[in-house]
Chains A and B, each alone.
Chain A
Amino acid sequence: MRDVAVLSFAQTPYKRREASRSEVEMVMAVVTEAIADSGIPKGAIGFTCSGSSDYIAGQAFAFVGAVDALGAWPPISESHVEMDGAWALYEAWVKIQCGAADSALVFAFGRSSMGRLPETLTMQLDPYTLAPLGIDAVSLAALQARSLLDRGGVTERDWAEIAVRSRRDAMANPFAQLRGESEVDKLLAEPYLVSPLRKHDCPPISDGAAAVVIAADDVARRAGPRPVWIRGIDHRIEPHQPGVRDLTRSPSTSLAGRKAGAVPERLELAELHAPFTHQEWILREALGLGEGLRINPSGGALAANPMMVAGLARIGEAAQRIRESGSGLALAHATQGHCLQQNLVCVLEAE
């Protein structure tokens, strides 16, 4: 396997509603910044891959316009996944592994504010048996949360503590959308949104874009002083029907973590893509992350959850933080689908 490193990461400030910039303009901003920071000239980047969803954008072929943001002339080698950008990064990593490119630009974008997100996500369900029921995304997450409470060992207070910590950490993250001090008791006094979930257990709806540049071996070493190496990356999917799996566990995350070579004791921090508080709890258990480990110093998806972007942003955030601290291993995680159906784990190391 070739050594591949994250060279740069750029993101927009995440907002409830990005009204002044189109997707193309958001993408242009983050792509330009990520390329400039990577130390690799734009024309030398060998591959480009993006992640987005037509249902988020409300039109077919929505990603086609994003090519306009790239200055794709002369024409570029480029691909797109209808997935979170973390999987676009995976495709780019594979391209580099097979020697088709030495560097790659990865980006993702989404303006969830254009539609009504919980209802849009209902369209992600089995169209024969689930979607006709009209279950929305928050209700499905609440089913999962209820199962977890019934299993025992975790309380609503534990979840509120996750929310408090996430919003507090987000105060140091200029890109976060939800930030500030809050108190567990006050949060627990709030009414349920969809029992057993309260508003603070759920992610905000966010618009935004992010971009990452990765490169291999000497190209990475020459490009900049502090490459952050991808030591392992893997992803796995579970069955779709909520009834056929144990919603309180995430075996796909455990497996992806093992395949990516995650060793919990050696980690400095983890950026987990847990849109709901209880999902952080499930993911920690699946990955065997101990109490002392720093989780989501960025504030995580509870501070900003741009659809199709949030997973890629976890990789970018994790890489950025260990680059700044100078050394150590970090774990980044991305999820998509209902109730943590599909999960990706990436292990990063700064030299």
Chain B
Amino acid sequence: MKPVTSIETPTRLEYEFTASGAQAEFLENIARGRLVGKRCPRCEKVYVPARGNCPRCGIATSDSVDVSDHGTVTTFCIVRVPSQNIELDPPYCAANVLLDGSDMPFITLLGECEVEDVRIGMRVEAVWKPKQEWGPTFENIRHFRPSGEPDVPVEKLGAWV
């Protein structure tokens, strides 16, 4: 008799996620084309996407703050391998972008530029999907692209670089 060396047991689990108050507010706003962050009442830093609490201070965030859809590349990498979840063909650029008016960069994709031209300090802007496709999701922003504004000197990016 042939020994059994492996078995296959496909599994399916379903989860239903619910948005917290801060997430819901952020999503309602992005559905209208606005980027609204949350400010920590203690350290006064602004977080986008909005968070219900300040991760540094461990307290609830308070004010809602509109931020710009323009920002600065604080660092980046060039992805040259295909990846699950990503529709773009490699090579493409994944960059940490600090939006004007926000205090923490987030990772996003850069498009409409040659990957070799991307640099720390480069100014970028959000490229939104057509308005009729907007929904309560971060995916309303297709990607970011160079805005053509002059670079931010690296020393002005402070702690981020």
Contact = CB atoms under 8 A, between A and B. Distances in A.
A112 to B, nearest CB: 11
Interface string A306-319: 00000000000000
Nearest to A67: B55
| Listed residue (A20, A22, A70) with the most chain B CB atoms within 10 angstroms of its CB | A22
| Listed residue (B7, B21, B23, B53) with the most chain A CB atoms within 10 angstroms of its CB | B53
Contacts of A72: 58
A191 interface: no
Interface stretch (B10-18, B82-90, B125-133): B10-18
Main secondary structure of the interface of B (DSSP, over half): loop
B156 to A, nearest CB: 24
Nearest to B53: A28
Contact of A20 (B15, B16, B21, B54): B21
Interface string B77-105: 00000000000000000000000000000
Contact of A25 (B13, B14, B53, B56): B53
A114 interface: yes
Interface string A96-128: 000000000000000001111001100100011
B59 interface: yes
Interface in B1-52: 7, 9, 11, 13-18, 20-21, 23, 51-52
Interface in B53-67: 53-60
A25 B7 contact: no
Contact of A114 (B15, B52, B57): B15
Nearest to A132: B9
A19 B18 contact: yes
A127 B8 CA distance: 10
A123 B11 contact: yes
Contacts of A20: 18, 20-21
A119 B13 contact: yes
B23 A115 contact: no
Contacts of B11: 123, 131
Contacts of B14: 115-116
A25 B17 contact: no
B52 A24 contact: yes
B60 A28 contact: yes
A115 B13 contact: yes
Given A20-B21, A25-B20, A132-B7, A71 B15 contact: no
Contacts of B51: 68
B13 A120 contact: yes
Contacts of B55: 67-68
A73 B20 CA distance: 24
A115 B14 CA distance: 6
Contacts of A123: 11, 13
Contacts of A115: 13-16
A195 B107 CA distance: 52
A58 interface: yes
| Listed residue (B14, B18, B57) with the most chain A CB atoms within 10 angstroms of its CB | B18
A188 interface: no
Nearest to A116: B14
B24 to A, nearest CB: 9
B16 to A, nearest CB: 6
A286 interface: no
3 shortest interchain CB distances as A-B pairs? A71-B58, A58-B15, A22-B20
26 contacts: A20-B18, A21-B20, A22-B23, A22-B52, A24-B52, A25-B20, A25-B53, A28-B58, A31-B58, A32-B59, A55-B13, A68-B53, A68-B55, A69-B53, A69-B58, A70-B58, A71-B57, A73-B57, A115-B16, A123-B11, A123-B13, A127-B9, A128-B7, A131-B11, A132-B7, A132-B9
